[in-house]
Structure 1
């Protein structure tokens, strides 16, 4: 993309304020944190419910960005950059993308549906890549923001587009249609995802079909409810398929063979078979959507057969894993294209644990650029993201080695592996980014820390979603502290803290000093409050610039003594008031002594005053909760008046945010809600699951009637029983009360009862009637069963379930 600003002003109905800066753009950005922003970046200052990118413009100008799309010019920024002033910056981004799309004339495939969009997109790219230079949406960029960013990545060398469109409410698809303008439409599986945004399934289908209003053809699975909504497409070609309706354009039957599926195809007067390496219904449907495109493009049967049998599982996640020698590994080892590299580098920066950053990169395919231009741009990306070392793998990237600094290259993955023992990986963050054909999963295996096969997968997208959900409940000026104590409620401390820092929350909260020290040592810059500091930790708190909560006169005097010895000035502290929890805090009868102790003291500064609610989640004790809020208002106001201070005040926790919105004061503290847990069943529907505890089947055996399983013979089979052993036990956090038929785990969405006693490192399940094999994945908790379900059945709370997961269980962080 190389455009002159003068040529796009009218497309956005913008008022242009010129500052005689560079007026040529070669990239678009909406992320002020990206290290890829440069002098020729056009930055769109998007405004959300809880964030306004206009606040970061001054800092971006200092970093060299010179072109901005804004609703207003921020104070002190006039004359320092070029500004295109519009009414709505998101609409301007969409208008710009729509204009940019109109500059290109080639086939564009548009996909929508409830499920399968990203899989079909990736498979189509694979199937069509021998014949087309395709541009496709990176990852799952299918939203009102993601679609325009995807389309704006088109360049002059592309001759096919594949873009997905996702919507969650009505009135959204019309905007995306103007941007994608698909010539070929694909409607994938219609399920229950995002149903809450529509009045009915028919309404959702009708809205999704708007994407195809001007398409040459619509490819879809024939069904009564879809057909009922196709009346407006009478002038368009419909290309349908079905397992049941023989009137469909393509009629299909299927038969499983081992771990594959044979599809029997009848199309026009032709009948043939194809083989695909899947058996699950979702993969089969997605493969058929791809098959329909090949048929529409009139590929011959032999080519279709040869390519379809090579379809592969698509990994849509960027994963963060613990690596060898104290490294952190970002695993993106299944794709290599220019747009996804940009995304992976931004993710690397948001999750970096060390200043030293290494990128292991394969040859890049389908960029639409000449190799010379492509690797020049890749080198620019590497430089802007301050990558310490590049390891290139592939003959093409090896030929352009000189474009990179501190770079070594290998012709293939085997050569790298042969040299692995001579390479040094230590105390660094490593991005592994490679095309599938390079089999970089072997490199991941070498660099990944070896632990047992039970893992807790943490969905970083879900954390971001839940954070934004609670942010949406806040007044614009209300700050947010997020609790990352107890190892992030069992989910992982540093990685979540790093993500929260990326989201610019105001404070982090930990229980004890050592948690805060660990985060500071790993590079977290956010202010960290220590809620339960012991007096023996005060010196360490001061040394590491943590901020202690002070809850007693004894503790205050001890801290002041150390502060005076160290000649501190205005060191931040936080005063805890006891308004009824009766756990920690200054009570009403100690406030006067507190005031006298602090009056005129210059060694410390009261950064905030807080209290803790005991019943914010219980409607039956609403009066008590309100009495706490009223007492907090009274006592904190007295402190503020007497000491002539204006600290941050906060009393609301997760439940308080939802149940007492009028009492946000200056800040709220988000805890368990960030991790996808709510005490309110209605609110729970809007939160996303964060943690999924998984393991595998170690061994399967069938025992006869009368045989027992486990310690104490607490399970005795009444009939021949198929038993699987899972390598997870009470040392990993599984309650023994969950055994002996009380609990279950999920295998391929089917329940398998836990039988016998839960052992320290293992448990056994009854898999009679469940089709599974040794090595298959099992789910202990996640979407099913949920943490809330476990807590209810075990007569405990979700906090205990989450924080009980042992540190020996490997955490894998990923982003969809």
Structure 2
């Protein structure tokens, strides 16, 4: 990126306190430990730390300018820009930078599966175009603006992951990224503690369309009941459907499990194509269908997109399948957890031969439904043929209770900590066991995975 300090101040309504307004800014960072020469530092006040304390260190590391909401006067050779709120200023600067580009932007949202869908969509698009995508899951009120600064003139399309956990957040992100196309994967119960209902979650996520233009397209999962309810709503927005339902525009047939992968035929209004994914699960079939739909509707080739998807590799802690020297198969899905995500993971577990072991930790931010949601996950695990269920955390004891309510329950063992669960697993796992490990990010169940590998 390249913006002068004056352009940045004008974009965010800031006031330059000192330094040369023509100073060229070539990057933006909120992390004082990751400063490159020419950077703008954006210090953010956190619950425990105010990053304004690190401004001097960023200048020593080569930063050319800083925002500040703590200062109204300053004498320095470096550029200081005073703003009322650094996070809001960051969004406004990112929106101004985004406005310099006319390339297609595809926003990706949904309660679960955003990151995997984003990766597949970007991979399929890259078969034809120079594609910029969100790194990891930088989809937040801070992460998304930082992503926009990675846009370069040579990029031909951008795939932007857009997450939200409260009212108003998606609308703010849409004003920054301004996607002309959007993919919605599903409407689950993630963050329902803050948003109150799935209807509210849907309503908030639909703000991803706030910057739509004539010709924009909303890609929707027809298998999700809340999204399917949009079939006869929003008549002004063109909708393209993907999913297993026979009425979907992009739908699969002849789905076959092939080792750790999946083969299927994708049907579309433009013809059919065989897709071979190196990952299992019906949810990944839907993700791939979304990728094919976006690529084709933007003018790409279905076969080229399918060929690209054959090279997909899951990101860390997202259903990565490891085989250990001790004869275990470990499914590392420890990045995060919600009921819908666990249901998909249990399906993957059930498709791999062996004794099925599920290690499930607390699911967070479920509010009033948390007890019922945990119990239903346990019942699903029991019905799915899990032989050994290990739970971690106080809430996860409800998962064990749900499993025990099944007519033929698995052996259930509950622990308070990852360390206790790992010690039990090491003592009781056998060669040939298939072990799923999953829990909310705050439960750090990747510690269990590391202990098993």
Q: TM-score, normalised by structure 1?
A: 0.41
Residues 797 and 178 (structure 1), Cα distance of their counterparts in 2 relative to 1, 3 Å cut: closer
**Partner residue of 2:151?**
154
Residue 68 of structure 2: which of 67, 70, 78 is its match?
A: 70
Residues 303 and 803 (structure 1), Cα distance of their counterparts in 2 relative to 1, 3 Å cut: closer
Is the CA contact (8 Å cut-off) linking 2:130 and 2:157 kept in structure 1? yes
**Partner residue of 2:282?**
281
Structure 1 CA distance, aligned partners of 2:422 and 2:274?
A: 51
Residues 779 and 136 (structure 1), Cα distance of their counterparts in 2 relative to 1, 3 Å cut: farther
Residue 114 of structure 2: which of 114, 117, 124 is its match?
A: 117
Residue 381 of structure 2: which of 750, 768, 785 is its match?
A: 750
Is the CA contact (8 Å cut-off) linking 2:179 and 2:208 kept in structure 1? yes
**Partner residue of 1:13?**
13
Residues 74 and 121 (structure 1), Cα distance of their counterparts in 2 relative to 1, 3 Å cut: same
State the shift of 1:25 in Å. Answer: 1.1
Residue 190 of structure 1: which of 187, 192, 208 is its match?
A: 187
Q: 1:719-758 to 2 correspondence within 5 Å?
A: 724=355, 750-751=381-382
Is the CA contact (8 Å cut-off) linking 2:392 and 2:418 kept in structure 1? no
Structure 1 CA distance, aligned partners of 2:273 and 2:412?
A: 55
Structure 2 CA distance, aligned partners of 1:277 and 1:43?
A: 40
Q: Does 1:295 align with 2:296?
A: yes
> For each residue in 1:121-141, what CA deviation from the matched residue of structure 2 results, as whole angstroms up to 9, or x when unmatched?
112222222321111100000
Q: Does 1:805 align with 2:423?
A: yes
Structure 2 CA distance, aligned partners of 1:143 and 1:100?
A: 18
Structure 2 CA distance, aligned partners of 1:54 and 1:196?
A: 32
State the shift of 1:110 in Å. Answer: 0.9
**Partner residue of 1:377?**
none
Q: Does 1:267 align with 2:243?
A: no
Is the CA contact (8 Å cut-off) linking 1:97 and 1:148 kept in structure 2? yes
Residues 813 and 175 (structure 1), Cα distance of their counterparts in 2 relative to 1, 3 Å cut: farther
State the shift of 1:795 in Å. Answer: 11
**Partner residue of 2:371?**
none
Structure 2 CA distance, aligned partners of 1:282 and 1:800?
A: 28
Structure 2 CA distance, aligned partners of 1:255 and 1:457?
A: 24
Is the CA contact (8 Å cut-off) linking 2:266 and 2:272 kept in structure 1? yes
Structure 2 CA distance, aligned partners of 1:748 and 1:258?
A: 28
> For each residue in 1:275-312, what CA deviation from the matched residue of structure 2 results, as whole angstroms up to 9, or x when unmatched?
4445412111111111211321344454344344x153
> For each residue in 1:487-536, what CA deviation from the matched residue of structure 2 results, as whole angstroms up to 9, or x when unmatched?
xxxxxxxxxxxxxxxxxxxxxxxxxxxxxxxxxxxxxxxxxxxxxxxxxx
The DSSP-based 3-state class of the residue aligned with 1:240 is strand
Is the CA contact (8 Å cut-off) linking 1:117 and 1:188 kept in structure 2? yes
Structure 2 CA distance, aligned partners of 1:786 and 1:227?
A: 31
Pairs aligned (count): 390
Residues 307 and 794 (structure 1), Cα distance of their counterparts in 2 relative to 1, 3 Å cut: closer
Q: Does 1:219 align with 2:219?
A: yes
**Partner residue of 1:97?**
94
| More displaced stretch, 166-175 vs 213-222 | 213-222
Is the CA contact (8 Å cut-off) linking 1:278 and 1:284 kept in structure 2? no
Structure 2 CA distance, aligned partners of 1:274 and 1:455?
A: 25
Structure 2: gaps (5+ residues) = 343-348, 358-376, 405-410, 428-446
**Partner residue of 2:173?**
176
State the shift of 1:37 in Å. Answer: 1.3
Structure 1 CA distance, aligned partners of 2:296 and 2:198?
A: 29
Is the CA contact (8 Å cut-off) linking 2:16 and 2:82 kept in structure 1? yes
The DSSP-based 3-state class of the residue aligned with 2:80 is strand
Is the CA contact (8 Å cut-off) linking 1:788 and 1:797 kept in structure 2? no
**Partner residue of 1:365?**
none
Is the CA contact (8 Å cut-off) linking 2:390 and 2:414 kept in structure 1? no
Q: Does 1:126 align with 2:123?
A: yes
Is the CA contact (8 Å cut-off) linking 2:295 and 2:302 kept in structure 1? no
State the shift of 1:251 in Å. Answer: 4.7
Structure 2 CA distance, aligned partners of 1:266 and 1:7?
A: 48
Structure 2 CA distance, aligned partners of 1:279 and 1:63?
A: 45
State the shift of 1:43 in Å. Answer: 0.6
Is the CA contact (8 Å cut-off) linking 2:187 and 2:227 kept in structure 1? no
Structure 2 CA distance, aligned partners of 1:145 and 1:84?
A: 18
The DSSP-based 3-state class of the residue aligned with 1:69 is strand
**Per chain length, whose mean CA-contact separation is higher, i.e. which structure has more relative contact order (CA < 8 Å, sep 6+)?**
2
The DSSP-based 3-state class of the residue aligned with 1:191 is coil
The DSSP-based 3-state class of the residue aligned with 2:423 is coil
Residues 157 and 798 (structure 1), Cα distance of their counterparts in 2 relative to 1, 3 Å cut: same
Is the CA contact (8 Å cut-off) linking 1:25 and 1:40 kept in structure 2? yes
Is the CA contact (8 Å cut-off) linking 2:91 and 2:145 kept in structure 1? yes
Structure 2 CA distance, aligned partners of 1:44 and 1:29?
A: 6
Residues 121 and 115 (structure 1), Cα distance of their counterparts in 2 relative to 1, 3 Å cut: same
Is the CA contact (8 Å cut-off) linking 2:105 and 2:157 kept in structure 1? yes
- Rg: which structure is higher? 1
Structure 1: gaps (5+ residues) = 319-333, 335-440, 463-675, 677-684, 690-695, 701-722, 727-745, 753-768, 773-777
Is the CA contact (8 Å cut-off) linking 2:140 and 2:164 kept in structure 1? yes
The DSSP-based 3-state class of the residue aligned with 2:182 is strand
Residues 254 and 198 (structure 1), Cα distance of their counterparts in 2 relative to 1, 3 Å cut: farther
**Partner residue of 1:243?**
244
State the shift of 1:49 in Å. Answer: 2.9
Is the CA contact (8 Å cut-off) linking 2:183 and 2:290 kept in structure 1? yes
Q: TM-score, normalised by structure 2?
A: 0.71
